[in-house]
Structure 1
Amino acid sequence: MITAKKSLAPYRTKDGSLIRELLHPDHQAVKNQSLAEATVPPGVTTHLHRHLQSEEIYHITQGEGVMRLGNEEFPVEAGDSILIPPGTAHAIRNRGTDDLLILCCCAPAYRHEDTELLE
């Protein structure tokens, strides 16, 4: 199975980022997780939020930002990976001049209903 990124329409998630679902149970044969690419433009911060069920992994593929994870904030850049346990508040700010691109892997798969906005 292959998914061509250019064939996928982006949409906004509850946290405000622009997402392309690369693999998701609603559209492909994957069963227990989802993989998406998020785009955060320069100067933009996603809404502080948490997922009650999903464990999430962010892998930064382009750009630089500041990650908020619980009460901690730290810089991130291309090549970094961040584990976000279920129930953990998180947000990310693009502090660079180019789009911040993030591969987001969720298990179980991402659902709007599992996202709780905190701000």
Structure 2
Amino acid sequence: MKIVRREQKIPFEAKDGSEIRELLKSESERMSLAEATVHEETKLHFHKTSDEIYYILEGRGVMEIEGERREVSEGDAVFIPSKKKHRIYSGKNEKVRFLCLCAPPYSDEDTVMV
């Protein structure tokens, strides 16, 4: 059994500008804790092969996929197919924290900035 504690993982900045802590990774998927800070957005990007699921843990924001924007908040899940341009905006006075599940696992090489 593998248990990972958030505090044990050092955050890094992903290519899209979000703060990431990689929690678990296997050959077929990866789960990370991600955060967009107050009044900011991640950079518009897409993944060549990875599908993503965002699960909003805390805060409010706006999810954009291929130009369509929808409000998201705690408890919402968003499916992002590969090759679809996307980003998330944090709320006006709060950050948005979310779990990001990627299959196959996230890699910088798979991420294309727009």
Gaps of 5+ in 2: none
* Structure 1 segment 85-96 matched on structure 2, within 5 A: 85-96=81-92
Deviates more, 1:1-10 or 1:94-103: 94-103
Q: Counterpart of 2:7 in 1: which secondary structure?
A: helix
Out of 60, 63, 66, the residue aligned to residue 67 of structure 1 is: 63
Counterpart residue number, 1:99: 95
For this pair of structures, how many residues does the alignment match? Answer: 113
Q: Counterpart of 1:113 in 2: which secondary structure?
A: helix
Report the Cα offset of residue 39 of structure 1.
1.0
Runs of 4+ in 1 over 4 A off after TM superposition: none
TM-score by length of 1: 0.92
Contact map agreement 1:60 1:100 (CA 8 A) in 2: yes
Counterpart residue number, 1:6: 7
TM-score by length of 2: 0.96
State how far apart, in whole Å, the 2-side matches of 1:98 and 1:109 are. 28
Q: Counterpart of 1:6 in 2: which secondary structure?
A: helix
Gaps of 5+ in 1: 25-29
Report the Cα offset of residue 12 of structure 1.
0.5
State how far apart, in whole Å, the 2-side matches of 1:2 and 1:15 are. 27
The superposition leaves residues 28-78 of structure 1 with CA deviations (integer Å, 9 ceiling, x where unpaired) of xx2210000111111001000000100000000000001101120110001
Counterpart residue number, 1:84: 80
RMSD: 0.8
1:111 aligns with 2:112: no
